[in-house]
Amino acid sequence: MAKKKRATSKKTKKPRKKIAFTLSRQQKIVLGSALSIIGLMFIISFISFLFSWQVDQSELAVIGNRDVEKENWLSTFGSAVSNFFVYKGFGISTLIFAFLITLTGIYYFFDYAKKQLVRFWFWGMLVMVWLAVFFGFFPAKSTILSGVIGYEVNDFLQDYLGFIGAVLVMAFLAIVYLVIRLKVTPEKVTSAFKKTKNSVVEDFTSEESTVSQTDYEKEVIETTITTEENSIPLEIQKEENLEPGLKEKVPTNEEAEVAMEVEAPVEEETVEDNLSKKLVEDFGQFDPKLELSNYKFPTIELLKDYTQGQGITINQEELEENKNRIVETLNNYKIGIANIKATVGPTVTLYEIIPEAGIRISKIKNLEDDIALSLSALGIRIIAPIPGRGTIGIEVPNKKPKIVSMRSVIGSPKFRDAEMELPIAFGKTISNETFVVDLARMPHLLMAGATGQGKSVGLNAILTSLLYKKHPAEVKFVLVDPKKVELTLFNKIERHYLAKLPDTDEAIITDTNKVINTLNSLCIEMDARYDLLKDAMVRNIKEYNTKFKNRKLNPNDGHRFLPYIVLVIDEFADLIMTAGKEVETPIARLAQLARAIGIHLIVATQRPSVNVITGIIKANFPARIAFRVTSKIDSRTILDNSGADQLIGRGDMLYTQGNDLTRLQCAFVDTPEVADITDYIGAQKAYPDAHLLPEYVSEEGGTTLDNNIEERDKLFVEAAEVLVIAQQGSASLLQRKLKLGYNRAGRIIDQLEAAGVVGPFEGSKARQVLVPTIEALHQLLNNE
């Protein structure tokens, strides 16, 4: 473990903080030119000093005398710096130092990357010292060659190692330089030797011998040789100046040199890559499931088979009867049928009709109600035309609908083999195929249906699908259940699958204030996740987690494996009624932005009216499910289409993720089955606590239950009286009586709760009024 930690911290050693020392472009140009000029002056002085050093040295005595003419080309300055650097320093090799200063000037002037320059300085200075010591082998008279330092070091070496020892040490150092810096190997030397031999032979045999090089050519080749050891940029510049003919000649030498340079730089990215590769080699990929590695997924035996193994049975008589009725009815309206085909589903049968040529489709569509009446059946839906098929569909409910058991969809190969992030098996289509979709792609789901039509079963089917496919490390649920009864069973898997706010006892949220806090906390989590994604330079949670598993993200920098978060809200209408904007705003924000970072919303409501499903919410929930609703208007609100009012209930539903509507029979999972599954999971080893969401402190500095008298609504007392008289703690009553909006009425109710006038939120029921009479109310308020 300790080893692991060390390795990770090594991998992501934070870059040392750079001292803020940056030059502007202008400053660089000025510095560059100054250095170049100084370097050039040094070069000129040093070269001149080689010829006039003895005279120059004698002139140093009269340095202040301007009447004495100086020999050095740069006069007093030249002789002084040369005496210091060349004579007292490193002899003629000090020229390398002067060249390096000039080169540095050029680098700054043109703003080249400085990495290369550091290397030039390092090797340049080593060569300078080596040459100085080397020239120390020559007699003391020629100190100008080695400089005093070079000579003394050489002398020191010879004193301790003798002449031969000193020569051997110097030879060794030369070999080190040739091998490491110039990458010379014996093989290269022999091949180069062979090449030269061949070219010499060729030169002699060729009639048009190029022996007589022009001065320009000589210069170019010489420059290449002196610069190639150091600077690619310089080479490139020279190359640009070459005449076309020469360009072809020189590269043979240069190419090898350039290739050598490319090898050297090591990019930071590669280091990280190598490190993560090494970490993966040493410790394997990061496994988010490790903590619960013995976790066992629920077995399929926990689910009941409602069909008792029987598939759909085709009732030939019923089919025939329906067909005849359809043909008859359509004939009554003068619609001839060319062909008719039936597909039997679990609850409805689809009759696909090809009308005779010349029949207008809109005519059939308009007769929908009449046809339904003639067929005397509820749940007739006419699809004219069936998208992509060019036929007209009439869905007629079966006399004996079949239950689609959850067991059959969970066990189907389509679900078992589904390679999806969050696969959900909703049920079966009309052609009896298992219908599986990815919640991660929806990316949020809106669900509506009148009471008793299968919403709760639908929610359980969704949660069950995820429990059968996803490990507790991969997905977390945030459950909001104002009715307090529907999702209670999931309490048992709190420490496996649920997420909650810190310092709360129950993970399943039943209280409006807590919902607001949780939604805002999810918004904080969303923002934090976006920051992590940005930092990791990835676009979505999938890429992020892959990178994290490959140990490319350091946990010490705040990176962590991100589980998907599925927020389920039952009875959304109730929430909107009581909390209004306070709920709507964070939901809209989450719906708009949370898709990439793995937070998905499932919102269910009984009342799909426009003030519950507002435009902004609708726009961000492209995937919708409608169970049977009571009116065409409701159907339009939820689906932007009619049809949901024609469903037969008991899990009969329409699904849309854009344009097309798909009729499905929702898989049925009963409460005891859910209880068995949650028991099975709950009995296994769990995490120490539920997944904790970030803490959220509401802007008012506390919950909305603060009993702050000054901040009370102007209509507070009036509202209290209305409720006490009616003995009914409902926000809609306030809305009606006092002509208030949802939000204001909700806020007043919260204030009344804080003041002890009404009891806490009780889901779909009205709140209890705690003050029996108007007198008692006034007494209560006066005593405050």
Ligand X SMILES: Nc1ncnc2c1ncn2[C@@H]1O[C@H](COP(=O)(O)OP(=O)(O)OP(=O)(O)O)[C@@H](O)[C@H]1O
The position carrying tokens 């043979």 is: 252
Cα–Cα distance for residue pair 349/316, rounded to 1 Å: 12
Check the annotation: does 429 bind a ligand: no
CB of 291 to ligand X, least distance (A): 35
295 in Cβ contact with 471 (< 8 Å): yes
Cα–Cα distance for residue pair 443/438, rounded to 1 Å: 8
Check the annotation: does 453 bind a ligand: yes
Nearer to ligand X, 96 or 666 (CB): 666
CB of 490 to ligand X, least distance (A): 15
Q: 283: phi > 0 → left, psi -120 to 50 → alpha, else beta; which? A: alpha
CB of 381 to ligand X, least distance (A): 18
CB of 368 to ligand X, least distance (A): 25
What is the token pair recorded at 85? 């650097």
395 in Cβ contact with 346 (< 8 Å): no
Instruction: Please return the burial class of 251, using the count of CB atoms within 10 Å of its CB with bins 0-12, 13-18 and 19+.
Output: middle
Check the annotation: does 70 bind a ligand: no
Which residues, in sequence order, are CB contacts of 125 under 8 Å at separation 6+?
Answer: 96, 97, 100
The position carrying tokens 């409902």 is: 730
Strand segments (E) across 345-453: 348-355, 381-383, 392-397, 423-429, 434-438, 445-448
**Dihedral sign, CA of 203, 204, 206, 210?**
positive
User: Whose CB is nearest to ligand X?
Assistant: 651
CB of 459 to ligand X, least distance (A): 8
CB of 679 to ligand X, least distance (A): 20
Q: Which residues pair with 476 in a beta bridge?
A: 565
Nearer to ligand X, 465 or 606 (CB): 606
CB of 527 to ligand X, least distance (A): 34
Nearer to ligand X, 447 or 522 (CB): 447
Residue 68 DSSP one-character state = S
What is the token pair recorded at 330? 């359509």
Nearer to ligand X, 564 or 668 (CB): 668
| Residue spans of alpha helices (H) in 181-267 | 186-205, 215-228, 232-241, 244-249, 251-263
What is the token pair recorded at 108? 């700054």
What is the token pair recorded at 258? 């350039």
CB of 410 to ligand X, least distance (A): 14
CA-wise closest residue to 570 among 680, 691, 653, 449 = 449
Nearer to ligand X, 521 or 605 (CB): 605
Residues 529, 530, 531, CA angle at the centre, nearest 5°? 90
Nearer to ligand X, 177 or 306 (CB): 306
Q: What share of residues in the chain are helix, strand, coil (percent, to 5)?
A: 55, 10, 35
CB of 672 to ligand X, least distance (A): 12
Q: How distant is the alpha carbon of residue 152 from its chain centre?
A: 64
Cα–Cα distance for residue pair 369/614, rounded to 1 Å: 30
Check the annotation: does 456 bind a ligand: yes
Nearer to ligand X, 209 or 313 (CB): 313
Nearer to ligand X, 286 or 627 (CB): 627
Nearer to ligand X, 88 or 483 (CB): 483
CB of 506 to ligand X, least distance (A): 20
CA-wise closest residue to 195 among 240, 253, 246 = 253
Q: Phi and psi at residue 623, in whole multiples of 5°?
A: -90, 125
Check the annotation: does 94 bind a ligand: no
CB of 456 to ligand X, least distance (A): 3
Nearer to ligand X, 233 or 649 (CB): 649
Which residues make up the interface to ligand X (CB under 6 A)? 403, 449, 451-457, 606, 650-651, 666, 668
Nearer to ligand X, 393 or 449 (CB): 449
CB of 659 to ligand X, least distance (A): 25
Instruction: Please return the burial class of 722, using the count of CB atoms within 10 Å of its CB with bins 0-12, 13-18 and 19+.
Output: middle
Nearer to ligand X, 220 or 448 (CB): 448
Cα–Cα distance for residue pair 467/566, rounded to 1 Å: 12
Q: 680: phi > 0 → left, psi -120 to 50 → alpha, else beta; which? A: alpha
CB of 671 to ligand X, least distance (A): 8
Write the CA distances from 374 to 55, 355, 380, integer angstroms.
Answer: 127, 18, 11
CA-wise closest residue to 366 among 333, 404, 343 = 333
Nearer to ligand X, 387 or 672 (CB): 672
What is the token pair recorded at 489? 């069973």
CB of 371 to ligand X, least distance (A): 26
Q: Which residues pair with 381 in a beta bridge?
A: 395
Nearer to ligand X, 309 or 658 (CB): 309
Report helix, strand or coil for 266. Answer: coil
Check the annotation: does 162 bind a ligand: no
Instruction: Name the residue type at position 97.
Output: F
CA-wise closest residue to 546 among 532, 562, 535 = 562
- From the CB of residue 288, how many other CB atoms can be counted at a distance below 10 Å? 18
| Residue spans of alpha helices (H) in 92-142 | 94-110, 115-135
CB of 605 to ligand X, least distance (A): 9
Provide the terminal-to-terminal Cα distance of the chain, rounded to the nearest Å: 60
Nearer to ligand X, 492 or 650 (CB): 650
Residue 88 DSSP one-character state = I
- From the CB of residue 462, how many other CB atoms can be counted at a distance below 10 Å? 25
Residue 19 DSSP one-character state = P
What is the token pair recorded at 294? 């013995």
Binding-site annotation: residue ranges: 449-456
Binding-site annotation: residue ranges for ATP: 449-456
